[in-house]
Amino acid sequence: MEVYIKDILFVVFLLCFIAQLYYLIANHNRLARYKPQNDTPVGQLPVSVIIAARNEYANLKHNLPLILDQDYPEYEVIVVNDCSFDHTDELLNIYEKQYPKLRIVTIEEHPRFKTGKKFALTLGIKAARYEHLLFTDADCEPTSSHWISRMASKFKGDVSIVLGYSPYQRSRGLLNLFARFETLKTAINYLSAALSGDAYMGIGRNLAYTKTLFFKNKGFAAHMHILSGDDDLFVNQNATPANLDIEIHPDAHTQSEVKPTLRSYYRQKKRHMGVGKLYKSKHRRFLSFDALSGFVYYGLFIYLLTIQLEPLLILGLYLFRLILQVVIYNKVFTKLRCADLIWWLPIFDFVYYLYLNIFGLIGTFTKTKQWK
């Protein structure tokens, strides 16, 4: 009986190994082959940049001028001041006098009606003068003065959603390393899915879509009761193979700092993972199978080596997958300006799948109560 159990575990390991190869070759390799446009596009469409901010005085002071000084002919920046009490209003009033492109929408605190980010964004969208909307967060800074140009240039033909990339800034510490790696792996997954014509999410730190699409599909109405999901749930429900494109050129990134403590990082990720259960069923299956097969693959790899069951074969399969990962991911990591993380792949890839399963369970049984 014990022999049969070992054989079954070995077969399960092989199946998980094959599943992981599928995700690498059939999906992630699409992003490795993708070539972003090198020439800086000329701005044509007027754009409304929308930022929802609650108590973001320090971030707005640093990042807002970088957005207001973009090299783009016609755009406006709408900052929705969502019940801030940290002198954000004073800062915005000063900037409004300095920058004609800045417009302010203010939400006052109500004793009984508590607002969230989706409400703030909806007010910003309603206030927007232009059809094409570009979103980021107050704690994000564009990596160049051509951020708007590159994101807006993707609105061609039937495209009404543009997915961008928003990495974390590099600094010291293991938390920074893993947070950057996790963000990169998440981007590889959702950008590869978009290239395959089956986009399932986007990141609100760097996302664009049209005003018509938003109101045609009733905005966030389907998930207004969920505080998170203004970005990924909107994309999950409204993206089609024909209406979506991606922009990953380094000039089009928006970057932010990793949360300073493990506790704050945990709160952020718990909030993000909590909306996954509302994805379309096919996307939940796709993501769950990747997470589970990766976790079981590593778990059985360690166990089968421990009991010395075909150790040379097990190690050979592990090295084959790792080498294939390095070949494919090195191209992607280089494109997304995270080449230093390739050295951490053998460690962080295992930690990543452990993280996915733990936070997946936490997100399933928890409810987000606040967006800030």
CA–CA separation, 245 and 235 (whole Å): 12
* Euclidean distance between CA atoms 286 and 186, whole angstroms: 14
Q: Answer for the pair 19, 289: CB distance below 8 angstroms, yes or no.
A: yes
Residue 372 is predicted with a pLDDT of 55
For the stretch 31-77, pLDDT in tens is: 999 999 888 888 789 999 999 999 999 999 999 999 999 999 999 99
Are residues 294 and 16 in contact, defined by beta-carbon separation less than 8 angstroms? yes
Contact between 138 and 51 under an 8 Å Cβ cutoff? The reply is yes
Mean pLDDT of 354-363: 81
Q: Which of 10, 8, 19, 9 is nearest to 292 (CA)?
A: 19
Of 318, 306, 299, 308, give the one whose Cα is nearest residue 357: 299
Per-residue confidence band for 274, with pLDDT thresholds at 50, 70 and 90: low
H-helix or E-strand spanning residue 31: helix 29-33
Mean pLDDT of 112-124: 84
Residue 162 has pLDDT above 80, yes or no: yes
Give the model's pLDDT for residue 112.
63
Query: Quick one: pLDDT at residue 4?
Result: 81
Work out the percent of the chain whose per-residue pLDDT is above 90.
Answer: 76
Q: What is the pLDDT of residue 226?
A: 78
Q: Is 164 left (phi over 0), alpha (psi -120 to 50) or beta?
A: beta
Going across the sheet that includes 75-82, the strands are 102-107, 75-82, 47-53, 132-135, 207-210, 161-163, 244-246
Kindly indicate the confidence band of residue 13, based on its pLDDT and cuts at 50, 70 and 90.
very high
Which of 230, 37, 69, 41 has the alpha carbon at shortest distance from 152?
41
Measured between alpha carbons, how far is 44 from 339 in angstroms, rounded to an integer? 33
pLDDT in tens, 72-95: 999 999 999 998 888 899 999 999
Hey, what are 242's tokens?
Answer: 């024909």
What is residue 80's three-state secondary structure?
Answer: strand
Q: Are 227 and 370 in contact (CB under 8 A)?
A: yes
Residues 6+ apart with CB under 8 A from 95: 60, 64, 65, 68, 102
**Model pLDDT for residues 303-320, shown as the tens digit of each residue:** 999 999 889 999 999 999
